[in-house]
Amino acid sequence: MSAQDAWRIFAEATRSLGNPEIDAWKAQGGKVVGFFCSMVPDELFTAAGILPFRMRGTGSTSTELADAYFTPINCTFPRHAFNQALLGEYDFLDGMVCINSCDHVRRVYDNWIQALDTPFVHVMSLPHKVDDPQVGWYHDDIAVLKEKIEGQFGVEITGDRLDEAIRLHNRIRALQKELYQMRRAERPPITGVQALEVMVAGTALPRERYLELLEEVVEEARTAPGVDGYRARLMIVGGELDDPEYVRIIEEQGGLVVTDSTCFGSRLMWEAIDEEDPDPVRSLARYYIQERPSCPRMCGDQPRRLAYVRDLVNEFRVDGVIAERLMFCDQWLVEHYMTGNDLKADGIPFLALDREYILSGTGQLRTRVQAFLEAIKGTSVTIRAGAQSLA
């Protein structure tokens, strides 16, 4: 298997819901469970021998079936994902785990159990704070999910199996982070589009198989000539962004996305899970509540999130930050309001963009990014000479 093959598989897994790797997994009798939000500990599924699949709405062109359940003031991400489920595009799932990550996604659970007959459907209760009592709550909630998986799928998730799964997921995180850190270079080995493909594919493929492919990609990146000819180094901050085409439009205007803080991006892997704790469920709870970079949903953690963004801006020599938000998302609206004020005070150019889940309004997006790049040109000290469009 070459890196070229790995890139092809990653692209394929990113641009559709199902993929041949899932087909092969299912053909061998493997189970697949979908899950919403990166706060669900997918290590549990791996430990149970189940393929965890991060829910998306990829390929959706309409929400007409979901609109009988949701309304126009609901985020288009769950509407498209649920529409895909109603169309049967998620029939390969043997289970679905939802979580109260936001007001829109949490209602997918309620509507799913009304409309679909997936054998196993569960909703997790994620705390809103990052303190020790919340770690305790989430520990017990993870234990409840573990017990339900064991009961539903007839498997025992032993401590050893969970330790092994955590080690596997950590190995993936380490390689993803290594790939990201190579992007600190003046000539990053991959584009933002490729980085997102790597990350999304990591939520859609059997994890051991994904690790093999990732190793190929990282190995190739170590000696890649790198990308040049860009006008500015950009960082994307935001939530549910799983569409590389969105990043492509940004990069086509001449900006190179060198890092991010998004739900499918660096926040997934910047920190590793503790492998030493004798209680791996406690390790998971601590990691998801306190240790991994948080999202705006976690109250009281905004200073740490801002520090995380600032650190990445410095580490990756970012010229400007693009803050993307899905329409009707209260969490990212207010977070971007605060982050924007803070970064502007630091002198860091900041552009807030609202978007729909399905790529649309691309003309406006191009115009706004072009204007942003022009504005950066006036403020940044690290503008590259002789810049050419990456397109």
Binding site for other proteins (CB under 8 A): 68-75, 78, 100, 102-104, 106-107, 109-111, 114, 123-129, 133-134, 137, 140, 296-297, 299-300, 302, 327-331, 333-335, 337-338, 340, 352, 354
Report in angstroms how near the CB of residue 194 gets to other proteins at its nearest: 32
Nearer of residues 6 and 86 to other proteins, judged by Cβ: 86
Helix ranges (DSSP H) in 49-206: 76-86, 106-115, 132-153, 159-182, 192-201
Question: How far apart are the C-alpha atoms of 73 and 60, rounded to whole Å?
Answer: 18
Nearer of residues 1 and 338 to other proteins, judged by Cβ: 338
Nearer of residues 180 and 288 to other proteins, judged by Cβ: 288
CB count in 10 Å sphere of residue 117:
7
Report in angstroms how near the CB of residue 16 gets to other proteins at its nearest: 26
* Both tokens assigned to 113: 């159990």
Q: Kindly state the DSSP code that residue 356 receives in the 8-state scheme.
A: -
Report in angstroms how near the CB of residue 67 gets to other proteins at its nearest: 9
Nearer of residues 26 and 129 to other proteins, judged by Cβ: 129
Report in angstroms how near the CB of residue 141 gets to other proteins at its nearest: 8
Nearer of residues 5 and 346 to other proteins, judged by Cβ: 346
Question: How far apart are the C-alpha atoms of 20 and 14, rounded to whole Å?
Answer: 12
Contacts 24+ apart (CB under 8 A), 174-182: 174/269, 174/272, 175/211, 175/214, 175/215, 175/218, 176/202, 176/214, 176/268, 176/269, 177/266, 177/269, 177/270, 178/218, 179/214, 179/217, 179/218, 179/221, 180/259, 180/266, 180/269, 182/221, 182/222
Are 54 and 203 contacting, i.e. CB atoms less than 8 angstroms apart? yes
Nearer of residues 10 and 70 to other proteins, judged by Cβ: 70
Distance of CA 372 to the CA centre of its chain: 25
Report in angstroms how near the CB of residue 185 gets to other proteins at its nearest: 34
Report in angstroms how near the CB of residue 135 gets to other proteins at its nearest: 12
